[in-house]
Amino acid sequence: MSFADLGLSDELLKSVEAAGYTEPTPIQAQAIPSVLMMRDLIGIAQTGTGKTASFVLPMIDILAHGRRRALMPRSLILAPTRELAVQVADNFEKYGTNHDLKMALLIGGVQMGDQVKALNEGVDVLIATPGRLMDLFERGKILLTGCELLVIDEADRMLDMGFIPDIETICSKLPAQRQTLLFSATMPPPIKKLADKFLSNPKYIEVARPATANTNIAQHKVFVSNRGKRDALRRLLRSEDARTAIVFCNRKTTVRELNKSLKRHGFASGEIHGDMDQSARLAELDLFKDGKVNILVASDVAARGLDIKGVSHVFNFDTPWHPDDYVHRIGRTGRAGATGRAFTFVAPEDAEAIENVEKLTGGAIPVYQLEGEAAADSGDERKADRKPSRGRKAKDDGKSDGGRDEKTARRSRKAESVEPQDKAERPARPRRDGTKPPANTRPESQDEPGAWNGPVPGFLSVSALN
């Protein structure tokens, strides 16, 4: 299947080619022809599967015909966060180079004046977060009556963030005769209800999870106590004969301390974390690539943007707080044809985190039983890890890897004195009543453009170790 088979215009195919995409992802292959035929559509596919281009590309061709009018955008894309809205806008810019399309971005935290000015001049594509759009709408700065194409992107995150009532209001302001597209990673009942109400006879596309036989990542979770993690890791590194492994930790301090501990135990390990500058990270990465170290202990943020793929093992020393990070992390293993292995440590405090991961990946990850479990917290661990001169800190020092820049780093350091844990940077946990906290409490890096470099095919399904 190639992009040329999907019915897109030649100009658009040129931009796609220039962007370096050679083949449509499954969701793109299925969605694009239907969107071009002006059908309503529900597209369900995991994060990182290329949903954005599956509406941006056909929209560019659809909007190529027709005229702009002041205050009346011709199409509207709703995105849950500023970052995701910006990513969608970037897509329009990238693929729309050969088209005369005007775009406006309505997001919080940006001066409203320029946005209103753009609207006054007429736009083909309006990309907005629901809050800001409602705001302008209520001030009478915008008319949605000319809007014949609506996209609700990342619908499940909209739900998490409490935007469904806003979306309902917005939908009711659009003309009844319109095309509506809804994209989501999952389809919880409230989203289903929304779709039933506002889409008409939609084509339903769900990118099926591949059969177990096709998966090239064997995933497992390992129940451990907090203190038993290091021992469990060492045992797995040995029993698994891990040739090249990345060990992900949620906090920078854990990265540093774990690397020290591994070295003391004779492993050839290195580390990358957010306190190192890019050149130091790359130097460490070179050691790993050259085989001088075969275990790289990493934080999520530091590993982003680094080309580390095809390792034999990924260990999640901590269950990631954000399920998307799980996908990013384990995606580092499993080379073409080879089976990668991913082990996720689940301590009692990770109960909610693993639940969220399993919700995203769509199934329970099989439990891996360590041999001789009872020895998990053996005395030998404590002996080897204790240095006579400098006692190991009992507690994490509170620095998380959330700080991407000096300012946040400073903020989190300041927070240390009052917050023994890393509350300051740590994203909110799901609430007691079962609802999730607003997703905008995630660190910004979640939405870093290009953080995930390509479709996610086989590995989201769960397979047993063979």
Cβ atoms 31, 55 nearer than 8 A: yes
* Smallest separation (angstroms) from ligand ADP to the CB of 80: 11
Which C-beta is closer to ligand ADP: that of 291 or that of 362? 362
Cα 88 to Cα 128: distance, rounded to the nearest angstrom: 10
239 binds, among ligand ADP, Mg ion, none (CB under 5 to 8 A by kind): none
- The residues in 53-82 that bind ligand ADP, with binding defined as CB under 6 A, are 53
Cβ atoms 422, 251 nearer than 8 A: yes
Residue 207 near ligand ADP by CB under 6 A: no
Out of 66, 310, 420, 454, point to the residue binding ligand ADP (CB under 6 A). Answer: 454
Which C-beta is closer to ligand ADP: that of 139 or that of 335? 335
Cβ atoms 343, 222 nearer than 8 A: yes
3-state secondary structure of 448: coil
Which C-beta is closer to ligand ADP: that of 104 or that of 460? 460
Q: Which of 137, 134, 135 is nearest to 72 (CA)?
A: 137
Residue 51 near Mg ion by CB under 5 A: yes
Strand-by-strand arrangement of the 269-272 sheet: 217-223, 340-346, 313-316, 245-249, 295-299, 269-272
* Smallest separation (angstroms) from ligand ADP to the CB of 123: 22
Cα 219 to Cα 367: distance, rounded to the nearest angstrom: 9
6 binds, among ligand ADP, Mg ion, none (CB under 5 to 8 A by kind): none
* Smallest separation (angstroms) from ligand ADP to the CB of 124: 20
Residue 426 near Mg ion by CB under 5 A: no
Cβ atoms 149, 179 nearer than 8 A: yes
* Smallest separation (angstroms) from ligand ADP to the CB of 66: 25
Angle between helix axes 112-121 and 130-138 (nearest 10 degrees) is: 70
Which C-beta is closer to Mg ion: that of 165 or that of 449? 449
443 binds, among Mg ion, ligand ADP, none (CB under 5 to 8 A by kind): none
Span from 47-55, 241-249, 331-339, 398-406 in contact with ligand ADP (CB under 6 A)? 47-55
- The residues in 4-23 that bind ligand ADP, with binding defined as CB under 6 A, are 21, 23
456 binds, among ligand ADP, Mg ion, none (CB under 5 to 8 A by kind): none
* Smallest separation (angstroms) from ligand ADP to the CB of 362: 15
Question: How many other CB atoms are there within 10 angstroms of residue 74's CB atom?
Answer: 22
344 binds, among ligand ADP, Mg ion, none (CB under 5 to 8 A by kind): none
* Smallest separation (angstroms) from ligand ADP to the CB of 454: 5
* Smallest separation (angstroms) from Mg ion to the CB of 444: 16
Residue 49 near ligand ADP by CB under 6 A: yes
Out of 165, 453, 464, 465, point to the residue binding ligand ADP (CB under 6 A). Answer: 453
452 binds, among ligand ADP, Mg ion, none (CB under 5 to 8 A by kind): ligand ADP
Q: Which of 75, 78, 46 is nearest to 58 (CA)?
A: 75
Residue 24 near ligand ADP by CB under 6 A: yes
- The residues in 422-451 that bind ligand ADP, with binding defined as CB under 6 A, are 450
Residue 377 near ligand ADP by CB under 6 A: no
Cβ atoms 133, 106 nearer than 8 A: yes
Span from 44-52, 239-247, 411-419, 456-464 in contact with Mg ion (CB under 5 A)? 44-52
* Smallest separation (angstroms) from Mg ion to the CB of 11: 24
Strand-by-strand arrangement of the 203-206 sheet: 103-106, 125-128, 75-78, 149-152, 179-184, 41-44, 203-206
Residue 25 near ligand ADP by CB under 6 A: yes
The number of C-alpha atoms within 13 Å of 331 and in the hemisphere containing its C-beta is 24
* Smallest separation (angstroms) from ligand ADP to the CB of 185: 7
Question: How many other CB atoms are there within 10 angstroms of residue 237's CB atom?
Answer: 21
Cα 333 to Cα 246: distance, rounded to the nearest angstrom: 9
For 438, the token pair is 């607003």
Q: What one-character-per-residue DSSP string does 96-151 give? A: TTTS---EEEE-TTS-HHHHHHHHHH--SEEEE-HHHHHHHHHTT----TT--EEE
Count Cβ neighbours within 10 Å for each residue of 315-353 and write b for 16 or more, e otherwise: bbbbbbbbbbbbbbbbbbbbeeeeebbbbbbbbeebeeb
Cα 277 to Cα 350: distance, rounded to the nearest angstrom: 30
Which C-beta is closer to ligand ADP: that of 267 or that of 326? 326
Residue 52 near ligand ADP by CB under 6 A: yes
Q: Return residues touching Mg ion (CB under 5 A).
A: 51
Q: Return residues touching ligand ADP (CB under 6 A).
A: 21, 23-25, 28, 45, 47-53, 450, 452-455
